[in-house]
Amino acid sequence: MISSNKQHSHSGQETKRFLPAGGHGLVVNFDDTQLRPGESKGNTDLATRKARALAGLIQEAAKDGKLSGIVDLIPGLTNLLVQYDPLLITAKHLQTTITPWLDHLSEDSGKSRHIRIPCCYGGEFGPDLEGIADQLNLSADEIVERHVASSLEVAIMGFLPGLAYMKGVDEALYLPRRKTPRAMVPALTLGIAMDQTVVYPMPSPGGWNLIGRIPIELFDPGKDNPVLLRPGDKIKFYQIDIKKYNDIYKSYHEGQFVVEIS
């Protein structure tokens, strides 16, 4: 889970660029506030994009046969984990290969997909909407307005297949996660916490503030490409009522409704 805590510069200890994860993983760290203590933390998003850009370059090199032994690439918040096969490559070789690439990473690939996702807010689908309205001193309608107006970006994914941590929620909606997580959150429920939004792709325990539900699947094992979202996607939600929700739900699950991706 993305931590609400800020990037620390740990009492002057400089965090290194490359951090070992056994002899089978290497974390490449782009957190400049750690690399250069004192720098503003506003660069977190840029660092996350750089990590993603590096993943793209490594993936290409692996495809072209220039790098072997790459098992998986997992973008994190301001970092990239390269999982490798020590029978085929060493951390040292990996570092030597990618180090020259680090200074030329584009912070925005320009290839981001823009995706619009319908959401039915409040009521049974968003049991926390009324409660957090009191906490935030906003009306439920204002919360929804600010949420649909937020331009979100998938920073990283994790926790469950298809679960995206979408950053960029309106500052006025900043809340911690619930003190006591729910034992079970229904599938497709949308939650907010900190500057982020998540949608639970499947039933799961969860501690986010639940404000709505979407009628389309984020993880659909029956499809050729089961996961809808990926890191770097730009997301906008739009509000639908319960009738429209039911229509889209039915239409999507009959294979008719097409998600807007541009």
Partner 1 sequence: MTVDAITMIRSGPYTSVQDRGRAGHQAVGVPESGALDRVALRLVNALVGNPADKAGLEICLGGVQIAFQASRRVALTGSVAATMVITDHLGHDITVYANRSIRVHAGQTIHINGLSGTNTVFLAISGGIGTPPLYGSRATSPNAMIGGLKGRLLKDGDVLPLCPDVAFPDTAKGYADKMLSDLTVYDASSSLRVVFGPQDDRFTDQAKAVFLSSTYQVSPLLNRMGMRLDGPVLEHCDNADIASDGIVNGSVQVPGDGKPIILLADHQTTGGYTKIATVIQADLPMLARRKPGDSITFTAISVEDAEQAARDHEALLCHAIETMVAPPPMNAIASPCPSDDKSD
C-alpha distances (whole Å) from 79 to each of 1, 18, 27, 35 are: 14, 10, 7, 12
| Shortest separation between residue 8's beta carbon and partner 1, angstroms | 6
Q: State the pairing for strand pair 114-121/234-239.
A: parallel
Provide the phi-psi class of 137: left if phi over 0, else alpha when psi is between -120 and 50, else beta.
left
Selected from 36, 63, 92, 114, the binder of partner 1 by CB under 8 A is 92
Selected from 35, 57, 61, 81, the binder of partner 1 by CB under 8 A is 81
Establish if 9 lies at the interface with partner 1 (CB under 8 A): no
Q: State the pairing for strand pair 79-84/25-29.
A: antiparallel
Residues 162-191, one symbol each (x = binds partner 1 by CB under 8 A, - = not), give xxxx--------------------------
Tell me the β-bridge partners of 75.
80
Instruction: State the DSSP code for 112.
Output: -
Helix 129-136 with 140-149: angle, nearest 10 deg: 90
Helix 91-98 with 44-63: angle, nearest 10 deg: 110
| Shortest separation between residue 130's beta carbon and partner 1, angstroms | 29
Q: Amino acid identity of 198?
A: V
CA distance 62 to 51: 16
| Shortest separation between residue 250's beta carbon and partner 1, angstroms | 23
| Shortest separation between residue 52's beta carbon and partner 1, angstroms | 9
Q: State the pairing for strand pair 182-185/204-206.
A: antiparallel
CA distance 51 to 29: 8
Phi, psi of 129 (to 5 degrees): -60, -50
Nearer Cβ to partner 1, position 123 or 186? 186
Selected from 96, 106, 113, 161, the binder of partner 1 by CB under 8 A is 161
Establish if 101 lies at the interface with partner 1 (CB under 8 A): no
| Shortest separation between residue 232's beta carbon and partner 1, angstroms | 10
CB-based contact 243:211 (threshold 8 Å): no
Q: Amino acid identity of 229?
A: L
CA distance 69 to 138: 52
| Shortest separation between residue 1's beta carbon and partner 1, angstroms | 5
Establish if 231 lies at the interface with partner 1 (CB under 8 A): yes
Which range in 79-87, 121-129, 145-153, 166-174 contacts partner 1 by CB under 8 A? 79-87
Establish if 63 lies at the interface with partner 1 (CB under 8 A): no
| Shortest separation between residue 261's beta carbon and partner 1, angstroms | 15
Selected from 61, 71, 102, 138, the binder of partner 1 by CB under 8 A is 71
| Shortest separation between residue 31's beta carbon and partner 1, angstroms | 6
Selected from 101, 159, 174, 257, the binder of partner 1 by CB under 8 A is 159
Residues making contact with partner 1 (CB under 8 A): 1-5, 7-8, 10-11, 13, 15, 19-25, 27, 31, 44, 55, 71-81, 83, 86-87, 90-92, 156-165, 202, 221, 226-227, 229-231
